[in-house]
Amino acid sequence: MNWPCYNDFVIRIIKPTYQFKYVYDIESDFLIGLAKKLIVLDMDNTIIKKNEINIDQPILDWIKGLKEQGIVFILCTNNHSQRHINVSQLIGCEIVQSALKPFSWRLMKHLKGYSKESILWIGDQLFTDVLGSNMRHIDSVLVKPLSIHEHGLTKMVRHLERLVLKGNKDE
């Protein structure tokens, strides 16, 4: 049975506003042109490989350059660990752990004072980062995961993401 309205709705709520290969491919001029003031940034496999403690230098340079331009960062993760706190301290920004993305109620208090139009949410997963941003009418960027090594549940979700992205290539 074909349900075009349902299919359109599902695609609309999980379709990213923009796609880039990696976060450091998003140029500062692009963000400034969009008048973005705050970036909600996923952690695992977006800026740091799962279970690693070091951020690659191009990502650190990208964050530093944007902070020098006045852009504020908030790290947002569904995980909770000292490793995540260490990353937020290294970057010099707030962190929302155990965020329960895509729902992310804990994140909402950190977004106060910013218009939806001035926020950009960047992450590597459709069903957490992109869906979370779309539920709040915030622009999103989907990037490739930094690593292919992931837990079982995430592997299953990635398979579903590939099917959705493949079926939506012409959009």
pLDDT, one tens digit per residue, over 3-30 is 555 556 666 778 899 999 999 999 999 9
Q: Quick check: 110 and 94 in contact, CB under 8 A? A: yes
SS3 39: strand
Q: Quick check: 14 and 125 in contact, CB under 8 A? A: no
Neighbours of 81 (CB within 10 A): 13
Residues 50-92: tens digit of each pLDDT: 878 889 999 999 999 999 999 999 999 988 889 999 999 999 9
Residue 92 backbone zone (phi > 0: left; psi -120 to 50: alpha; other: beta): left
Identity (one letter) of the amino acid at 112?
Answer: K
Any idea where the domains of the chain sit in the sequence?
13-167
pTM: 0.84
Q: What is the CATH number of domain 13-167?
A: 3.40.50.1000
What's the token pair of residue 108? 């909402």
Helix or strand holding residue 84 (H, E)? helix 82-91
Contacts of 90 (CB under 8 A, 6+ apart): 55, 60
Q: Quick check: 99 and 78 in contact, CB under 8 A? A: yes
Residues 101-138: tens digit of each pLDDT: 888 788 888 899 999 999 999 999 888 899 999 999 99
Cis peptide upstream of residue 4 (ω within 30 degrees of 0): no
